[in-house]
Amino acid sequence: EAGVTQFPSHSVIEKGQTVTLRCDPISGHDNLYWYRRVMGKEIKFLLHFVKESKQDESGMPNNRFLAERTGGTYSTLKVQPAELEDSGVYFCASSSFTEAFFGQGTRLTVV
Amino acid sequence: GENVEQHPSTLSVQEGDSAVIKCTYSDSASNYFPWYKQELGKRPQLIIDIRSNVGEKKDQRIAVTLNKTAKHFSLHITETQPEDSAVYFCAASIRDDKIIFGKGTRLHILP
């Protein structure tokens, strides 16, 4: 069984540009979660999808961040425009009714 | 790359007893070790974390220990209660880069 995959694994962009991160959950998993770890700080929850619906987006930092999950399959997280403080590791997890499986994350560097 | 092994995969303890979950990591450069708890039907949540410059950290009934020489870290839950029943994940992160998760431990608290 394929695990949760994320790409790109690493992205370097300039301040003001747009970046789109992608998460492919395990097939059949309705729940998809996005987290991020900003440099040197703890991991923070961003949002939770149940299928294509946003169940909880209380962790989204501001309106520069847009998450979508069209069709309830893969999800994208767009940052537009990116700021320096957005640098960090963004990772996702998916689950069905039981435990979650985590992706290895995308390292975003904004310069 | 980094690899995180977590044991046991399932653990049952009597209410009031202690539970210990152990993880090992392969990359000695790992410097951040969070633990997540996922209750049934809910998203994984950070419960405690430790950095490589600290050997032990405690928060009420939960404690985490880190042995950098042996490259292993453990989660200790004392005086277990029914609400401690969940899946617990350990993770290791290298210098704010990718975060690698263990496969989880399903903890059952027996009445």
pLDDT given for residue B73 in this prediction: 97
- pLDDT tens per residue, range B53-78: 889 999 999 999 999 999 999 999 99
pLDDT given for residue B53 in this prediction: 85
- pLDDT tens per residue, range A25-75: 999 999 999 999 887 777 888 999 999 999 889 999 999 999 999 888 999
Q: Among residues of chain A, what percentage have pLDDT more than 70? A: 95
pLDDT given for residue A37 in this prediction: 86
CB contact under 8 A, A97 and B45: no
- Closest-CA distance, A32 to chain B, in angstroms, reads 9
Which letter does DSSP use for residue A37 in this model? E
CB contact under 8 A, B38 and A95: yes
Number of alpha carbons in the 13 Å side-chain half-sphere of residue B39 = 8
Neighbours of A43 (CB within 10 A): 22
Of B87, B96, B104, the CB nearest to A89: B96
pLDDT given for residue A78 in this prediction: 97
- Closest-CA distance, A39 to chain B, in angstroms, reads 6
Of A40, A43, A97, the CB nearest to B46: A43
CB contact under 8 A, B98 and A105: yes
pLDDT given for residue B97 in this prediction: 66
pLDDT given for residue B95 in this prediction: 67
Q: Is pLDDT larger for residue A101 or for residue A16?
A: A16
Region for B80 from its dihedrals, namely left if φ exceeds 0, alpha if ψ lies in -120 to 50, beta otherwise: beta
Q: Which tokens in the block code for residue B106?
A: 């399903």
CB pairs under 8 A between A and B: 57
Q: Is the pLDDT of residue A1 over 80?
A: no
| Chain B CB contacts of A56 below 8 Å | 43
Number of alpha carbons in the 13 Å side-chain half-sphere of residue B41 = 0
CB contact under 8 A, A89 and B43: no
Give the CA distances from residue B46 to residues A35, A103, B6, B90, in Å, rounded to whole numbers and listed in that order: 11, 16, 17, 10
Q: Is pLDDT larger for residue A96 or for residue B1?
A: A96
Q: Which residues does chain B have with pLDDT short of 70?
A: 95-97
pLDDT given for residue B96 in this prediction: 61
The pairs formed by B63-71 with CB atoms below 8 angstroms and a separation of 24 or more are B64/B33, B64/B35, B66/B33, B68/B28, B70/B24, B71/B24, B71/B25, B71/B26, B71/B28, B71/B30
